[in-house]
């Protein structure tokens, strides 16, 4: 028998359905996953773009730095003489796998140049965003012009004999047809020698200058012949355009490349000092540094620049030289009618050695010839401080 409590009805359990709850949960999870994937893709894209930007920026800066260094490495010395102050011109380079650069020269004054190198690099393709970066760097370059103590037509560290029929002229001679020469520059001594050395002149009229013979204690200092301001004998030898190992080289004559430019790789091309009919105009601004490893006999031809001889110099034939000659030992004259326009310096190996100026040689001091030779052969060096700017 079942008894029920009075006043209470039986308990009945009921279950309520909640339709669609699982679907909402799934959709929410999908939305969250989608947001996470989108955020991850966005972050990856941003990282990729930042990496790409960093890459093209680095390439552009590398290209700009390359142009700045390349222009110094390739400096052909042409602007040293024929570029006016304030003038500018451009040179372009392409760097494989990096980009391109444009280098602009601007001459500030006779001794300095302002160089701006603009590097460009790009990354990307038709399916990805293309990125281009431009970087610019600039530097001041200055000419390292040798400072030579040539205070007369002939400078010797020892004794000197002038015999026969030579002419040594300390007056300031202007090379025929040369531009940029200052006719107001004063003449200097005919011969510069140290005190106490023997200067023998057969005929007084053979040597002219103000004074005829200058006594200078500094020419007895060996440093006068191996130190030249920013440069030294060794640095000039290191920069030599032509190195002679034959003591009797062929006559020097200017030559051209097939495209009509001056052939500066030809060891017998020592520049073009002439301005008369038939001269080689393309080589008038080529002032090479020529180094001879031994005593040298010059038999003819023509040239200009700086001639360094590790030994004696013997002047033969109908040589025409414009510029500076520095000999470790003696200067002597053989047969012929050589003409030197500029200056000669002879640092004797021993002070008792004799430097003899014989025959029909003519030595004319020329401030213009010396200045062109020193400036035209000068290399550039970068200033210690360099400012650069970036362009986006």
Q: Is residue 339 part of a domain?
A: yes
Q: Is residue 18 part of a domain?
A: no
Over residues 353-388, the pLDDT tens digits come to 456 665 678 999 999 999 999 999 998 888 765 544
Q: Is residue 17 part of a domain?
A: no
Q: Please indicate, yes or no, whether residues 77 and 222 belong to a single structural domain of this protein.
A: no
Mean pLDDT score of the chain, rounded to an integer? 84
Q: Please indicate, yes or no, whether residues 186 and 252 belong to a single structural domain of this protein.
A: yes
Range of the domain at 52: 30-145+380-391
Residue 140 · residue 238 · CB < 8 Å = no
Q: Please indicate, yes or no, whether residues 193 and 137 belong to a single structural domain of this protein.
A: no
Q: Please indicate, yes or no, whether residues 384 and 250 belong to a single structural domain of this protein.
A: no
Among 298, 357, 361, smallest CA distance to 332 is for 357
Exposed, middle or buried by CB within 10 Å (0-12, 13-18, 19+), for 65? middle
User: Within a 13 Å sphere around the CA of 320, how many CA atoms are in the beta-carbon half?
Assistant: 12
Q: Please indicate, yes or no, whether residues 257 and 228 belong to a single structural domain of this protein.
A: yes
Q: Please indicate, yes or no, whether residues 384 and 360 belong to a single structural domain of this protein.
A: no
Q: Is residue 313 part of a domain?
A: yes
Q: Is residue 3 part of a domain?
A: no
Give the model's pLDDT for residue 126.
Answer: 46
Q: Please indicate, yes or no, whether residues 269 and 385 belong to a single structural domain of this protein.
A: no
pLDDT bucket at 125, cuts 50 / 70 / 90? low
Q: Is residue 223 part of a domain?
A: yes
Q: Is residue 197 part of a domain?
A: yes
Q: Please indicate, yes or no, whether residues 70 and 186 belong to a single structural domain of this protein.
A: no
Q: Is residue 13 part of a domain?
A: no
Give the model's pLDDT for residue 350.
Answer: 40
Q: How many C-beta atoms lie closer than 10 Å to residue 123's C-beta? A: 17
pTM assigned to the model: 0.79
Q: What angle do CA 244, 246, 251 make, to 5 degrees?
A: 80
Total tally of structural domains belonging to the chain? 2
Q: Please indicate, yes or no, whether residues 208 and 338 belong to a single structural domain of this protein.
A: yes
Q: Please indicate, yes or no, whether residues 222 and 159 belong to a single structural domain of this protein.
A: yes
Q: 268-299: b or e for each residue (b if 16 or more CB lie within 10 Å)? A: ebbbbbbeeeeebebbbbbbbbbbbeebbbbb
Q: Please indicate, yes or no, whether residues 84 and 125 belong to a single structural domain of this protein.
A: yes
Compute the radius of gyration of the chain from its Cα atoms.
Answer: 38
Over residues 31-88, the pLDDT tens digits come to 788 777 777 777 666 666 666 667 777 888 888 888 888 888 888 888 898 889 999 9
Among 370, 368, 390, 364, smallest CA distance to 171 is for 364
> What does the alpha-carbon distance between residue 226 and residue 189 come to, in Å, rounded to a whole number?
21
Q: Please indicate, yes or no, whether residues 122 and 159 belong to a single structural domain of this protein.
A: no
Among 297, 252, 295, smallest CA distance to 270 is for 252
Give the model's pLDDT for residue 375.
Answer: 93
For strand 88-95 and strand 331-336, is the pairing parallel, antiparallel, or unpaired? unpaired
């Amino acid at each position: 028998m079942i008894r029920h409590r009075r006043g209470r009805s039986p308990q009945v359990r009921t279950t309520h359905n909640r339709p669609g709850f699982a679907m909402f949960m799934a959709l929410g999870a999908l939305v969250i996953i989608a947001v996470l994937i989108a955020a991850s893709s966005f972050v990856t894209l941003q990282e990729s773009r930042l990496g790409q930007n960093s890459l093209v920026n680095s390439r552009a800066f590398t290209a700009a730095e390359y142009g700045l260094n390349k222009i110094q490495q390739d400096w052909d010395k042409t602007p040293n003489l024929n570029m006016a102050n304030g003038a500018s011109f451009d040179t372009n380079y392409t760097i494989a796998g990096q980009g391109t650069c444009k280098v602009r020269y601007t001459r500030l004054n006779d001794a300095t140049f302002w160089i701006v190198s603009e590097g460009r690099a790009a990354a990307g393709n038709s399916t990805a965003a293309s990125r281009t970066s431009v970087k610019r760097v600039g530097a001041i370059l200055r000419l390292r012009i040798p400072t030579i103590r040539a205070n007369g037509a002939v400078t010797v560290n020892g004794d000197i004999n002038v015999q026969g029929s030579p002419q040594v002229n300390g007056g300031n001679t202007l090379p025929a047809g040369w531009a940029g020469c200052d006719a107001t520059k004063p003449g200097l001594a005919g011969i510069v020698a140290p005190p106490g050395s023997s200067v023998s002149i057969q005929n007084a009229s053979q040597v002219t200058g103000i004074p005829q013979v200058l006594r200078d204690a500094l020419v007895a200092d060996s440093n006068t012949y191996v130190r030249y301001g920013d440069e030294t004998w060794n640095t000039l030898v290191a920069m030599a355009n032509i190195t002679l190992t034959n003591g009797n080289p062929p006559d020097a004559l200017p030559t051209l490349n097939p495209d009509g430019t001056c052939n500066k790789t030809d060891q017998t091309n020592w520049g073009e000092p002439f301005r008369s009919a038939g001269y080689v105009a393309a080589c008038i601004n080529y002032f090479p540094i020529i180094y001879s490893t031994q005593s040298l006999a010059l038999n003819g031809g023509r040239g200009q620049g700086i001639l360094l001889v590790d030994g004696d110099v013997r002047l033969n034939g109908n040589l025409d030289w414009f510029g500076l000659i520095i000999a470790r030992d003696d200067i002597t004259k053989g047969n012929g009618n050589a003409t030197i326009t500029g200056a000669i310096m002879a640092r004797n190996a021993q002070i008792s050695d004799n430097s003899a100026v014989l025959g029909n040689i003519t030595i004319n001091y020329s401030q213009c010839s010396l200045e062109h030779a020193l400036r035209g052969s000068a290399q550039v060096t970068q200033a210690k401080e360099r400012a650069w700017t970036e362009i986006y």
